[in-house]
Amino acid sequence: MHIRALLALLFTILIWGVAPVYIRAFSLAAGPADALVIRYVLVSLLCLAFLPFFDGFRIPQRDWPRLLLISLVGMFGYNLGSVFGFVHVTAGVGGLIIATQPLLIALLAALFGAERLSLAVVAGLAVSFIGTAVLFGGDVGSGIGRGELLLGGCLIFLSGLAWSVYVVLSKPLIQRHGAFKITAISILVATVPMLTLASRTTLNTAMNLDAGGLFALFYMVVPSTFMTVITWNYAVGHLKPSAVGATLYLIPLLAVASGAVLLGETITATTVIAGAIILAGVAVAQIGPRMQRAQLDPRS
């Protein structure tokens, strides 16, 4: 069971590592509002097609408040901040900001009583936020203004905070009802407020996508949203939140590399330094507790 969960997690991280490239490209081409609406209308249709095979919307009344919370705060908040944030920053810079998610997951897990908040996590948070300050303070915009960098960076950070809420609070629902069912319903619920962003141009934008836009849309709808949210939720349902969050450090590395290769983004010295500091903070938070346990129990 744990092997399948780990494989599902690895697949998710690989797909999400490249996703910032296509989120940014499609958001710039279609506009962030239209990009979000078009993407999630298609994902919702897939969810509606498969949900009847998983007992539909039948969820006990006691679970609906939590389900609405993860849908409207976690799923909707994550996607809203992400799609608007990547309009303002490069895929690489956005990917580095996403690297703070493991620490946010660990912090929220502690606040909700799912795990204990260790000194290592606190230290890791401090180090990673220093790295984020370096990222915002240096010349990493590659032609993007400082104001845009700060706005986009804050939006992506808030999207990571929203996703942390989803990760921590969705686990008991996934364990009771299954990964696909919770994924599908949370997507459908989150799509409702997304529809308010539709405009007169949305349908015209969807009908006039070029080949690059269609591929970006396919990548985001099928593997990056429909498939990986299911595999992610499956992993969350079988692994500890901090263990799941630990793998997210691979996303910024993949995002920086894919941004350079696919979008021609410049990898500056500041980007490398800030990224190293952020990932060092993640490493401190993840490795510190294990070293502590090893010292307390030499057999581990």
pLDDT of residue 80: 95
What is the predicted pLDDT for the residue at 294? 45
**Where do runs of H (alpha helix) occur along the chain?**
2-30, 32-50, 64-69, 76-85, 91-98, 101-111, 119-137, 146-177, 179-194, 202-207, 211-221, 228-238, 241-246, 250-263, 269-296
Residue 125 near residue 107 (C-beta atoms within 8 A): yes
Q: What is the pLDDT along the chain (300 residues), one digit of tens a residue?
A: 578 888 888 899 899 889 999 999 999 889 999 999 999 999 999 999 999 988 889 999 999 999 999 999 999 999 999 999 999 988 888 888 887 777 788 788 888 776 677 777 778 778 887 887 777 766 554 566 778 888 998 999 999 899 999 988 998 998 899 888 998 999 999 999 999 999 989 999 999 999 888 999 999 999 988 888 778 878 877 787 666 766 766 778 888 889 888 888 888 787 888 888 888 887 777 665 554 444 434 433
At 287 the pLDDT is: 67
- Please report the pLDDT score of residue 296 as a whole number: 38
In this predicted structure, what is the pLDDT of residue 290? 53
pLDDT score, position 295:
42
What is the pLDDT at residue 298? 41
Burial of 225 per CB tally in 10 Å (0-12, 13-18, 19+): buried
Question: Beta-carbon neighbour count of residue 1 at 10 Å?
Answer: 7
